[in-house]
Amino acid sequence: MHDYGLFSGLVGSVMGLLGIVIAIVPFWKIFSKAGFSPWYSLLLIIPIVNIIILFFLAFADWPALKQQKQPYEFGPQ
């Protein structure tokens, strides 16, 4: 009989790593565009902390929006 334990472990590890990368990359961009450190996206790997981070991202005041709120040069038309 064949021993597929090593192969299946390798495939499982690669798939797990791929899943982590797929989860981290979009949030890296979201945190950057929101004005936060993109390194916060690595906290999504930690269980329970990932839920807290999502709530933080949803309800926190984004620094990028604070910088964007400048008065109109000509006012509303």
**DSSP labels, 29-61:** HHHHHHTS-GGGGGGGGSTTHHHHHHHHHHHSP
Give the domain ranges of the chain: 5-68
Q: How many CB atoms lie within 10 A of CB 44?
A: 20
Model pTM score: 0.70
What are 16-53's pLDDT values in tens digits?
A: 999 999 989 999 999 999 999 999 999 999 999 999 99
Tens digit of each residue's pLDDT (9 = 90 or more) over 59-73 = 999 888 877 766 556
pLDDT of residue 52: 95
Token output for 12 = 């499982």
